[in-house]
């Protein structure tokens, strides 16, 4: 059966509102990123008709084909790993590059942004669980590289993102969300580095992420159903 995208969106939004309320956060503290990877433009259009304007894609190649097919008023975040040879198109397609995971990548973004006359917005990906399979700064490494990061002055670092380990229960993710928030608080305190955004929470655990301070949740399956095979 085809998923009812309008209905799913409504229920995800209601869940976010309820979690905001329950945790004493002002309504509208959290933005929903609808993750459309593997889904064709006509599926994205159904979400647009249901009032969704902010979307996430994880591959530059796929986004490059899809985004021009869709209304220009849509906003796109890159939520996957960015290869350095894709920076130029990524900066042209995406409003925010989530998942900047090394100083080398940040410096390349800085250089290419200079060529293009852009001031890109990014989040830094933190490997909170220390998984060798995941991209991201280890907290130690990020702490030791804050100076270098702040030198990339064209790039606006707006916060942190994380992808906790896949787990059977949303409660398993809570401690990683707490870690990401506390790590952000520490960076703000020690380095006076404002990092207002926390991108955390996916279909399985976004309600917990909202309770723990997410400002962006990235939700795909709960809106669009199972992803299509590539
Ligand atoms: C695919 C993806 C999501 C969405 O995952 P769902 O479980 O389908 O909600 C969120 N974040 C990232 C980085 C992703 O790659």
* Domains located in the chain, CATH noted: 5-224 (3.20.20.10)
Instruction: Give residue 54 CA to ligand 1 midpoint distance, Å.
Output: 14
Measured from the Cα of 206, ligand 1's closest atom is: 9
Per-residue tokens: 188: 């703000």
Residue (of 44, 31, 96) closest to 71 by Cα position: 44
Measured from the Cα of 80, ligand 1's closest atom is: 13
The pLDDT of residue 82 is 96
Quick one: what percent of the chain has pLDDT higher than 90? 92
Residue (of 1, 75, 73, 65) closest to 34 by Cα position: 75
The pLDDT of residue 136 is 94
By alpha-carbon position, which residue is closest to atom 12 of ligand 1?
A: 79
- 154-185 pLDDT, tens digit per residue, is 999 999 999 999 988 999 999 999 999 999 99
| C-alpha distance from residue 19 to each of 77, 121, 138, 180, 206 (Å) | 23, 27, 29, 18, 9
Q: What is the mean pLDDT of the chain?
A: 96
Instruction: Give residue 216 CA to ligand 1 midpoint distance, Å.
Output: 12
Instruction: Give residue 123 CA to ligand 1 midpoint distance, Å.
Output: 16
| C-alpha distance from residue 37 to each of 77, 92, 177, 226 (Å) | 11, 18, 23, 11
Residues with CB under 6 A from ligand 1: 35, 37, 58, 79-80, 163, 202-204, 218-222
Q: Distance between CA 60 and CA 66 in Å, rounded? A: 10
Residues 217/32, Cβ–Cβ less than 8 Å: yes
- 50-67 pLDDT, tens digit per residue, is 999 999 999 999 999 999
Residue 230 has pLDDT above 70, yes or no: no
Measured from the Cα of 224, ligand 1's closest atom is: 8
Q: Distance between CA 136 and CA 80 in Å, rounded? A: 11
Lowest-pLDDT range, 44-53, 128-137, 146-155?
Answer: 128-137
The pLDDT of residue 134 is 79
Q: Distance between CA 22 and CA 30 in Å, rounded? A: 13
The pLDDT of residue 1 is 73
Q: How many CB atoms lie within 10 A of CB 52?
A: 21
Q: Identify which of 11, 35, 127 to mutate to test ligand 1's pocket (most ligand atoms within 8 A of the CB).
A: 35
Indicate the Cα dihedral angle 198, 117, 114, 73, nearest 10°: 30
The model carries a pTM of 0.97
Average pLDDT over residues 32-36: 98
Average pLDDT over residues 95-109: 97
The pLDDT of residue 42 is 97
């Amino acid at each position: 059966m085809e998923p009812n995208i309008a209905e799913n969106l409504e229920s995800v939004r209601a869940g976010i509102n309820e979690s905001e309320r329950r945790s004493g956060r002002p309504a509208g503290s959290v933005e929903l990123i609808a993750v459309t990877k593997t889904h064709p433009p006509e599926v994205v259009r159904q979400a647009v008709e249901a009032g969704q304007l902010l979307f996430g894609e994880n591959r530059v190649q796929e986004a490059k084909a899809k985004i021009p097919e869709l209304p220009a008023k849509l906003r796109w975040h890159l939520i996957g790993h960015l290869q350095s040879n894709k920076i130029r198109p990524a900066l042209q397609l995406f409003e925010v590059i989530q998942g900047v995971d090394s100083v080398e990548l940040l410096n390349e973004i800085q250089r290419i942004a200079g060529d293009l006359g852009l001031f890109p917005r990014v989040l830094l990906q933190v490997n909170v669980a220390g998984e060798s399979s995941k991209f991201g700064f280890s907290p130690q490494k990020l702490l030791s590289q804050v100076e270098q990061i702040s030198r990339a002055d064209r790039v606006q670092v707006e916060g942190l993102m994380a992808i906790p380990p896949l787990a059977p229960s949303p409660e398993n993710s809570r401690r990683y969300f707490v870690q990401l928030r506390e790590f952000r608080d520490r960076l703000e305190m020690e380095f006076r580095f404002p990092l207002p955004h926390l991108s955390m929470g996916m279909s399985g655990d976004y309600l917990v992420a909202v309770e723990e301070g997410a400002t962006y949740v990235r939700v795909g399956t709960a809106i669009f159903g199972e992803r299509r095979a590539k």
